[in-house]
Structures are given as structure tokens and as C-alpha cells.
Structure 1
Amino acid sequence: MAEDVNIPGDELKQAQDMLTFVHDFIDIGHHTFDFDAAFGRGRLRGSAQHFEDKWEDGRFQLKRQIKGIRDAIGSILDSFEKTDQDAAQNLDDGQG
């Protein structure tokens, strides 16, 4: 039965790292992004700027939610690590 327990620590850590990357780089916008250089002065540039303007409201909410998920993953990883350490300590104590 114990072989059925799978704690995906590496995958959770990878997800946490990816969320950190998204959180840190989600603010690329008109302050740091040169729309003219990327899209020129045509319709595409205007559409990109329009999207950026509308995206501003959702970005704040998304950053908050990403932080919450990232922190929850951190708590899960910490709990797994503590459980693993406690189990190892109990095994060591039982052999003495």
C-alpha cells in the first residue's frame, strides 16, 4: 500500500518556480515595452496597446492569485519536508 503514495515534490517545486517567473514578468507593459519597435505604427500596434490598457485591471488580480497559489505550494512543500524529516527521525529513534 505504501507504494501508492507519490509526493510530487520536484513537480511542485517546478510549478512554484514557474509561477514566480510569471509573477515577476507579468508587468511588462508600456513602461518597459516598446510597442513601436515591436509592432511598428500600424493597426497591430494599436491593437497591442488597446490590449495592454485593458489588461492593466486583470493583471493586479492575477498577480495576487499567482502569489496565493505559489505560497500554497510552498506550504505544501514545507509540510512534505517536515513529514519526511519526522518519519526519518522516528525510524532512527526506533533503531537505537
Structure 2
Amino acid sequence: MAYDDIDIPMRSMEDLEKAVKDTIDEFENATHNSEALESAIGSPLDRSGLRSQAQRFEEAWDDKRDTLKEHLVDLLDRVSGTREKWAELDAELAKAVDTSDGNDG
């Protein structure tokens, strides 16, 4: 098998790694964002029902979001580790090809 037959999707792994990091950041900022939403809702027409519903939703979603964030952190570790190992393998194969090319002449 020729070395040029190996296609390592490094750019795709980097994109996935960034997307997972961005999602984790969003989850970490969600409480602040929801508090800002509740504040922005206020009490239109002296009624606080909509704000109360937003607050209830946030409280119910909070535990689930923490669980999902934990899973995302685990996924990020795996994606990062896989990307790093592929990069190491790519460097080793490139070195092996360079070394073998030098010995042929």
C-alpha cells in the first residue's frame, strides 16, 4: 500500500474540536444568558408570567445541561486525543517516507 492512499481528515477533526469547544462555552454561559433574558422580559403590563415561565424552563434545563456538558467535555477529550494521535502518525509516516526516499538514491 502506498503512503498516498492514506487520507487523514485533520481539518474535519479540527473543525469538530472547535465546534465542541464552542458548544461547551455556550453551555457555560447559558445561565448568564437566561438571567439576561429574564431581565429583558421584565413584567410587561405588570404581569410576570412570561418571566416566571422562562425561569422555570431554565431551572428544569439546568441539570440536563450540566449532564450534557460533561458528555461534551468527554467528547472533546476523545476528539482532541484522536486528532493528536493522527498528527503524530502523520509525522512519523512522513519521516519514514523521507528516510526511505533518501536511501534509494
Whether these two folds match at TM > 0.5 is yes
Q: CA deviation at 1:16?
A: 0.9
> Hey, what does 2:15 align to over in structure 1?
14
Query: Which blocks of at least 5 consecutive residues in structure 1 are unaligned?
Result: none
> Hey, what does 1:82 align to over in structure 2?
88
Alpha-carbon distance in 1 for matches of 2:97, 2:62? 53
Alpha-carbon distance in 2 for matches of 1:55, 1:64? 14
Higher helix share: 2
* TM-score calculated relative to the size of structure 2: 0.75
Alpha-carbon distance in 1 for matches of 2:80, 2:13? 8
Q: CA deviation at 1:17?
A: 0.8
Q: Which has the larger radius of gyration?
A: 2
After TM superposition, where is structure 1 displaced by more than 4 Å over at least 4 residues in a row? 1-5
The number of equivalent residue pairs is 95
Asked if 2 retains the 8 angstrom alpha-carbon contact of 1:30 and 1:52, the reply is: no
